[in-house]
Amino acid sequence: MAKQIQAIRGMNDALPTQTPAWQKLEAVIRSSVSAYGYSEIRTPIVESTDLFKRSIGEVTDIVEKEMYTFDDRNGDSLTLRPEGTASTVRAGNEHGLLYNQEQRLWYMGPMFRHERPQKGRYRQFHQFGVEVYGIATADIDAEVLMLSARLWEQLGISEHVTLELNTLGDPKERAAYREALIAFLEQHKDVLDEDSQRRMYSNPLRVLDSKDRNVQAILKDAPALMDYLGEESKTHFSTLCELLDAVGIQYTINPRLVRGLDYYNRTVFEWVTTSLGSQGTVLAGGRYDGLVGQLGGKDTPAVGFAMGLERIILLLDTLGLNDNLPSEVDVYVTAMGEQCIPEAIKIAQELRNALPTLKVMSHCGGGNFKKQMKRADRSGAQFALIIGENELNNNQVAVKPLRENNEQQLVAREQLATTIAELI
């Protein structure tokens, strides 16, 4: 036998048993963004490698070791997008969407990072994200957080996620803090793990979220970024906190939260859960006022977040919230005898036309009553319609409940849609 080809490690199929959970999540996301008036943007999956190097930053996990980068047939260096923000800014600049305008955008789609696959961490994964341009004030930071909090409510997981918040100040304030932090880290160099030693000079803020216990221990005495903030940054942060208080969104301020990407300034946040082990961050984002300019556009304030869909699906699975999702089929239409097939498929079509949201599956492939009923049951349908010689002669359809112990009933064909609508 020929050898079967397998999927690439860390890149998963979503099987028919799993796609209902995805569709439900995607539907909740779509209705959430629409409730806030956001518009969708779709960008290519492949971009110039430079786009990600210049935006995400050279000394980051993503650019240092996670990108799927290759030369195409022209010798141009291309990269499978590892995240959505850089592409959105690139598209916004390219099509003149950003300068002097307000845009509230969202996207959803696959991202690619060459990481060690494990629960909640894959090489192809999916993100939903929002990106807002042209608004510098903290009310919009609060809005994207409200949108995310509302999403948790709609998904029924509010009790299982918490919001962590921090501010990184402006580039100048961060530069002053960086100096102080490097000076501090130099005093404790021998305690730092390998990664932290390497990053100490290139990206010292990243040392703050080192997972190493010894490093975490010495960081208790590290200088705090809050002490380096100017008035404007402080006010921006306190305004955001007041707005969140006003709408009842709880948060903890986590001075160690710095985010892994270079482009953030001021507000940064993460929604985390303790229900998924070490892959606990389900949504992360912040303000990135410098990025549009950095990528060649005119300076434009920006704020956004990205949510990992796989981790939300896992969380919903863990909590049992993906059990009992509605079946793909409501009504299964059977034909008893080959001569009944033309009318049976016509009846199925009439039902679809009369009730556009009804999910109607026609039996195909013949077989006796028992076989067709088995298929009907397996389809997950609520009802089987039985169409045989007798029914057709009397202009009737037999409606057989499959999930409840109710009696089968004969329904006049012209009453069928009305009856099904009442039953479902």
In the region spanning residues 111 to 140, those forming contacts with ligand ATP, defined by CB under 6 A, are 113, 115, 120-122, 125, 127
- For ligand ATP, the closer CB: 30 or 121: 121
Are 205 and 199 contacting, i.e. CB atoms less than 8 angstroms apart? no
| Cβ neighbours of 409 (radius 10 Å) | 13
The contacts of residue 269 (CB under 8 Å, 6+ apart) are 145, 163, 164, 165, 166, 251, 257, 284, 285, 286, 305
- State which H helix or E strand residue 287 sits in: strand 281-287
Question: Both tokens of residue 135?
Answer: 């608004």
Are 305 and 164 contacting, i.e. CB atoms less than 8 angstroms apart? no
228 binds ligand ATP (CB under 6 A): no
The site string for ligand ATP over 13-32 (x = CB under 6 A, - otherwise) reads: --------------------
As measured in angstroms, the least distance from the Cβ of 281 to ligand ATP is 4
- For ligand ATP, the closer CB: 110 or 367: 110
As measured in angstroms, the least distance from the Cβ of 60 to ligand ATP is 9
The one among 85, 233, 265, 281 contacting ligand ATP by CB under 6 A: 281
How far is 242 from 397, CA to CA, in rounded Å?
A: 62
260 binds ligand ATP (CB under 6 A): yes
Residue type at 92 in one-letter notation = G
Between CA 103 and CA 113, with CA 108 as vertex, the angle to 5 degrees is 115
303 binds ligand ATP (CB under 6 A): no
From 155-163, 183-191, 308-316, 405-413, span contacting ligand ATP (CB under 6 A): 308-316
As measured in angstroms, the least distance from the Cβ of 313 to ligand ATP is 10
165 binds ligand ATP (CB under 6 A): no
As measured in angstroms, the least distance from the Cβ of 11 to ligand ATP is 11
To 10 degrees, what angle do helices 138-155 and 19-35 make? Answer: 140
DSSP reduced 3-state for 98: coil
**Nearest residue to 66 via CA among 117, 107, 110:** 117
417 binds ligand ATP (CB under 6 A): no
Question: Both tokens of residue 53?
Answer: 């190097």
Between CA 200 and CA 207, with CA 206 as vertex, the angle to 5 degrees is 55
- For ligand ATP, the closer CB: 310 or 391: 310
- For ligand ATP, the closer CB: 209 or 343: 209
In the region spanning residues 64 to 93, those forming contacts with ligand ATP, defined by CB under 6 A, are 83
Are 331 and 361 contacting, i.e. CB atoms less than 8 angstroms apart? yes
212 binds ligand ATP (CB under 6 A): no
376 binds ligand ATP (CB under 6 A): no
**Rounded alpha-carbon distances, angstroms, from residue 424 to 152, 164, 330, 346, 407:** 29, 43, 8, 21, 15
As measured in angstroms, the least distance from the Cβ of 305 to ligand ATP is 8
263 binds ligand ATP (CB under 6 A): no
304 binds ligand ATP (CB under 6 A): no
The one among 284, 295, 348, 351 contacting ligand ATP by CB under 6 A: 284
287 binds ligand ATP (CB under 6 A): no
Which positions touch ligand ATP (CB under 6 A)? 83, 113, 115, 120-122, 125, 127, 260, 279, 281-284, 306, 308, 310-311
